[in-house]
Amino acid sequence: MCYSRYVISLLPLLLAVPLAAQDPSWRETSLLFWPQDRRDKALGHMDKVFETRPIAAGGKVRALPAGKPLPSTIDADAFFQSQYTAGLLVLHNGRIRYEKYGLGHSATGRWASFSVAKSFTSTLVGTALHDGVIRSLEDKVTAYIPGLKGSAYDEVTVRQLLTMTSGIRWNEDYADPKSDVALFAFHKPDPGLDPTVSYMRRLPREAPPGGKWIYKTGETNLIGALVMQATGKHLSDYLSEKIWKPAGMEHSAFWQTNTGGNELGGCCMGVTLRDYARFGQFILEGARIRGRSILPADWLPQATAKQADIGIPGRGYGFQWWTLDDGTFYATGIYGQGIFIDPKRRLVIASNSSWPQATDRATLSPARLAFWRAVQAALDTGR
């Protein structure tokens, strides 16, 4: 397939007028079912399609100096070409060893995160725990979200939300237009309730809490609602205050909101590639601001290690991070978004793409993992 088909040329007028205003069907159809050309056009400009809240940058920017190129054994360009890539950055020891952009994207463009946002939201839970506004991961979710009282979430803990082991039934099939993940954005909320809470409180239980793992974007949206209730702040403001500004992010970002005006904790930030990499480096270094971690001492060892069995050998799920048994972990989002973190090798790989399908477990996803492994091997041998 010719890569040039996916290169975008955006006219100034297109950038000036919201895409949804040009064609209202952008918002009326789930983005899961947009055609490729529409998705290619929009992923770098989601704030022109949906309502968002800003994540303000400010203060001293963390430098990302250039390092030596990757070893010649790594054909990063070929990988870039094969992944419908908008941006790929390899950060080693805090230095950029590879950086390239495509699909009309650039170093200053803000690409859609999709579920990479989940790992940001998880980190805000740890921050709120450190701040004392969330008391314990063993607290019931309903202690923070009263609108869930009387629902199947009555016995679910904060920890079980983080590990997606609530036992609540949910359908995350991206190809099914009747799945929960496709429908919940169009839900008309009950009076006085946040749309996420209103939708999730209707779901039935299918297993006891704490056992069965099922991936649920809706539950990370609930985690976001919980953080907002606990802190009294919007997720974007809390993220800006605790991480974006003090950790030295270079560009302001944005976070998509639901119809109630609250951020979707499980999805849809718009961030530059270098700031995705900076966040990975921030986590790799222990989430420290001026030498002190903003997280409880035991947070990252738990969050980035297997807490739930996902049924795939060698892999697991932590606190909204995907884990590998070699001690590496990653954030990932549909259509090829990712932040891979290898603490042992001081390695962060950030990527943005526009895969033809939401997920591609047969080809593109294994190829991405193989690229991560190849970079690790090259760093180990020095060639």
DSSP per-residue letters across 322-348: EEETTS-EEEEETTTEEEEEETTTTEE
pLDDT of residue 30: 73
Q: In this model, does residue 164 exceed pLDDT 60?
A: yes
232 — pLDDT class (breaks 50, 70, 90): very high
Residues 62-84, mean pLDDT to the nearest whole number: 96
Q: Taking the model in full, what pTM does it have?
A: 0.93
11 — pLDDT class (breaks 50, 70, 90): very low
For the domain covering 131-225, report its CATH number: 1.20.58.710
pLDDT of residue 305: 98
pLDDT of residue 33: 87
Lowest mean pLDDT among 11-25, 320-334, 353-367: 11-25
Contact yes or no for 231/134 (Cβ under 8 A): no
Task: Give the count of beta carbons closer than 10 Å to the beta carbon of residue 7.
Answer: 12
The β-bridge partners of 90 are 98, 349
Cα(215)–Cα(169) distance, rounded to whole angstroms?
10
Residues 216-225, mean pLDDT to the nearest whole number: 98
pLDDT of residue 27: 53
Sign of the C-alpha dihedral, residues 321, 323, 326, 330?
negative
Which residue ranges does the chain devote to CATH 3.40.710.10? 3-116+236-381
pLDDT of residue 206: 97
Residues 271-276, mean pLDDT to the nearest whole number: 98
9 — pLDDT class (breaks 50, 70, 90): very low
Q: In this model, does residue 15 exceed pLDDT 60?
A: no
6 — pLDDT class (breaks 50, 70, 90): very low
SS3 labels along 217-261: HHHHHHHHHHHHHHHCCCHHHHHHHHHHCCCCCCCCEEEEECCCC
Task: Compute and round to an integer the Cα radius of gyration of the chain.
Answer: 20
Q: Which of 137, 145, 329 is nearest to 221 (CA)?
A: 145
Q: What is the pLDDT of residues 92-147, one digit of tens each?
A: 999 999 999 999 999 999 999 999 999 999 999 999 999 999 999 999 999 999 99
Helix (H) or strand (E) segment spanning residue 54: strand 52-55
Cα(251)–Cα(253) distance, rounded to whole angstroms?
6
Residue 135 sits at φ, ψ, to 5 deg, of -80, -45
Q: In this model, does residue 180 exceed pLDDT 50?
A: yes
Sign of the C-alpha dihedral, residues 225, 230, 233, 237?
negative
Q: What is the pLDDT of residues 190-219, one digit of tens each?
A: 999 999 999 999 999 999 999 999 999 999
26 — pLDDT class (breaks 50, 70, 90): low
Which residue ranges does the chain devote to CATH 1.20.58.710? 131-225
Contact yes or no for 46/52 (Cβ under 8 A): yes
Cα(103)–Cα(86) distance, rounded to whole angstroms?
5
Residue 88 sits at φ, ψ, to 5 deg, of -140, 130
The β-bridge partners of 99 are 89
CATH architecture of 3-116+236-381: 3-Layer(aba) Sandwich (3.40)
pLDDT of residue 29: 63
